[in-house]
Amino acid sequence: MINVKKDETKKKITKATIELLKEKGYKGTTTREIAEQAGVNELTVFRHFGSKEGIIQAIVQTTSFSLGIFQESIEWELEKDLTNFGYLLLKDFDNNRDMISIALKDPVIFSQVHEEIIKKVNGMKDILKEYFEEMQRRGYIKELDYCTQAEILLSTYWGYFMYKLNFGDKALHADYQDMIKNSIKTFVKGVSLH
């Protein structure tokens, strides 16, 4: 029971921190404001996290991406696999939108978050590169620079996500399902042997 209450308190503090960082930025957010927003006293914030930086580190550790799910669901059908990858990737970006938004506002202050995002994106790139190499070995796609192909695909989704993050749905012609479907069709035509 004590651990459940402790976890709930930590969640309140991290949620309050994210909201304040989005609104005021790192320098404009104080531990006192975090405590007030979370409905706890400032001592509780320090007891659980030690400092504002400690809260940021805890938030970074909770960011997760679905790399394993993609690898487990591969069917070796290019269009189907890449469509699944697109859905998982955009879902991951969306689930981590607050942290991505905060990290991009000030990459120097949020260097740990920034580095974690880069690490996750590089992990995705490696998985895609290995997938493309195996698809080529199986005779399904052309021999290409697979690292660049992975970067092209990731850039497409990152660009869509950033466009949506900055301008909202009103500025977009296609929803994410149409964007994935159409971008994958174009990509598959470019790399397929058939």
pLDDT tens string for the chain (194 positions)? 567 788 899 999 999 998 898 888 888 899 999 999 999 999 999 999 998 888 887 887 777 777 678 888 999 999 999 999 999 988 888 888 887 887 777 776 667 667 777 888 888 899 999 999 999 999 999 999 999 999 999 999 999 998 888 888 777 888 888 889 989 999 898 888 86
Query: Residue 35: helix, strand or coil by DSSP?
Result: helix
pLDDT on residue 152: 94
The SS3 assignment for 80 reads helix
- Which phi-psi region, left, alpha or beta, contains residue 168 (left: φ > 0; alpha: ψ -120 to 50)? left
**DSSP for residue 108:** T
Contacts of 73 (CB under 8 A, 6+ apart): 81, 84
Note the pLDDT of residue 169: 77
Q: What is the pTM of this model?
A: 0.77
Q: What per-residue confidence (pLDDT) applies to 2?
A: 60
